[in-house]
Amino acid sequence: MTKKPNASSRPRLSGRAFLKGAGAGAMIAAIAGCAHGGGATLADQGEPAAKAKNVILFVGDGMGVSTVTGIRILAGQMQGQSGEDYVLSWEEFPNVALSKTYNTNQQVPDSAGTATAIMSGVKTKAGFIGVGPAPKRTECDVSLNHRLTSILEDAEMHGLSTGVVTTARLTHATPATTYAHVPERDWEADADMPAEAIAQGCKDIASQLIDFPGNGVEVAMGGGRANFLPASDADPEYRKKTGKRKDGRNLAEEWLRHDGAAYAWNKQQFNDIDPSTTDHLLGLFEPGHMQFSLDQPNDPGGEPTLAAMTEKAISILNRNPDGFFLLVEGGRIDHGHHEGQATHALHDGVAMAEAVAMADRLTDDDDTLIIVTADHSHTFTLAGYPTRGNPILGKVYGNDDFGEPETQPALLDDNLPYTSAGYQNGPGAVTSLPRPDLTNVDTEAEDYHQQSLIPRSSETHGGEDVAIYAKGPGAERANGVLEQNVIHDIMAKAFGFDSE
């Protein structure tokens, strides 16, 4: 499936080019180091010999280093091992770096600003989708002059096929930054937007996916069906999962205007899709976010796994002889952490590791660059002195004076047991003494909230650096401590976009 490049009115802006014309945003941008300041840059490294035909970017939303460690141990223990020395699929990649995740206006970032940096090469404010930092948040009219070109849009303009796969809503922050431009991440459907912004010419995120210029995005799968369907839609095909759009548009039906297009909203329909004859695939498997991996029903009316969606996406996109760009997001790692439920966060991380392994099997290291990273971290910690092989979500059992495992849970100074996994803040905060006794509590249950220090209804992001893992053409540039926006430049350079 060869495509001709399509025209686009969106300018291609590099970090430095944007700063020169940022006006009121220049001071913020300069402080933030948007133009690759304060860390290693691509100019510090040698020219790669090979060019990538394909680029696959995996984003584990909220997957900080402590979370990766937890995922690793859980994955190993699920296979009957002690877990600590287990190796996740991306941990076999030869190139590793660190990414600085701050937004231009926040020390601890949000997903919209960080994902925009990854996709466009320009750091920006929290809450912005594909827009530079000059406007104020929700300032529609100004934002229209500060749109940033994403790596997906660049790929489309170069005739490549493109795809977006997520376990969150397709209109959620990270996936939206590949195709949309709004100064407010919450504008997922027209019903979410103020009338003034609509009158000024801003479009909701869902409509921007469907109205994408030219031949459009080839594959888009995730949740968020309500943002694509009209509020009046009571079609029994969608069961009780009707829409929220006020403009009356049925964007799922509009998707079918593409040649060779297909739409699926459950697992059976997904399984029936033939990649060899499908040119465009839209999958909307839940009205909101998809289910946590532990909750996915194993029935035809359920939803596919992240690995299955990754496999289907690659099978469709790989038919383009010119290559493809694909974003795959493990979006619900983040949501598990926000709920203070490490069980969900880590199990969804294991599901993403399976998706990475699937992509690695289906592609060739000689022509495909695979990057695995996170947009930001969380306040998730692993602490105490548990013995080797201690269940990662269980209560801590320590070692005795001879270095041998104890047979009773370790006790803290309050003579109560504790878990290794915990949070700095969140729903599981200890708000009064004595601390809740965990002796008879199943701390590995899905609904258990790990204990935290500071009470908060939703646990927050963390501000520390996150890891970048890379393999394939151009992967050697993932080296050192990098500004997060450099991830975009690694991908663009691998494709050869920056040499034109």
Side-chain-side CA neighbours of residue 487 (13 Å) = 35
pLDDT band at 32 (very low <50, low <70, confident <90, very high): very low
Is residue 368 located within the same domain as residue 385? no
CB of 219 closer than 8 Å to CB of 313:
yes
d(CA 168, CA 333): 10
Residue 68 domain-assigned (yes or no): yes
Does any domain span residue 9? no
Catalytic residue from among 66, 99, 111, 420 = 111
Is position 4 within any domain? Answer: no
Range of the domain at 435: 380-459
The pLDDT assigned to 50 comes to 82
474 with 450, same domain: the answer is: no
CATH code for position 121: 3.40.720.10
Q: 489 and 396 in one domain?
A: no
Q: Are residues 387 and 325 in the same domain?
A: no
111 is catalytic: yes
pLDDT (tens digit per residue) in 51-66 = 999 999 999 999 999 9
- In Å, what is the CA distance from 112 to each residue of 173, 266, 344, 366? 5, 28, 22, 32
Q: Which amino acid is at 407?
A: T
Range with the poorest average pLDDT among 164-178, 290-304, 403-417:
290-304
Confidence of residue 342 (pLDDT cuts 50, 70, 90): very high
The answer to whether residues 392 and 286 belong to one domain is no
> Phi/psi at 432 (nearest 5 deg)?
-155, 160
Q: What whole-number percentage of the chain has pLDDT above 90?
A: 86
Tell me: the pLDDT tens digits for 77-112? Answer: 999 999 999 999 999 999 999 999 999 999 999 999
In a domain, 3, yes or no: no
Per-residue pLDDT at 380 exceeds 80: yes
CA pseudo-torsion sign 334, 339, 342, 344: negative
Token pair belonging to 396? 């801590």
Predicted confidence at residue 136, as pLDDT, reads 98
Main-chain dihedrals φ then ψ at residue 237, nearest 5 degrees: -60, -35
Asked whether residue 6 is domain-assigned, the answer is: no
For residues 282 and 311, state if they share a domain.
yes
The answer on 292 and 433 residing in a single domain is no
**Same domain for 385 and 369:** no
Q: How many domains does the chain have?
A: 2
Query: Is residue 260 located within the same domain as residue 339?
Result: yes
Q: Is residue 1 part of a domain?
A: no
Instruction: List, in order, residues 6 or more apart from 98 with CB less than 8 Å away.
Output: 465, 466, 467, 468, 480, 481, 482
* pLDDT: which is higher, 165 or 214: 165
Residue 2 lies in a domain: no
Between strands 377-378 and 461-462, the pairing is antiparallel
Six-digit token pair at 295?
Answer: 């909750």
What DSSP designation does 47 have? P
- For 12-18, what is the mean pLDDT? 32
pLDDT at 262: 98
| pTM (2 d.p.) | 0.91
Stretch 448-459: mean pLDDT: 97
Do 220 and 204 sit in the same domain of this protein? yes
Predicted confidence (pLDDT) at residue 215 exceeds the cutoff of 50: yes
Average pLDDT over residues 191-217: 97
Structure-block tokens of residue 272: 């029936």
Average pLDDT, the chain: 90
| Residue 10 included in any domain | no
Is the domain of 440 the same as that of 395?
Answer: yes
State CA 24 to chain mean position distance: 30
Answer yes or no: do 442 and 455 share one domain.
yes
Which of 56, 184, 169 lies closest to 110, judged by CA?
Answer: 184
Nearest to 223 by CA among 282, 169, 154: 169
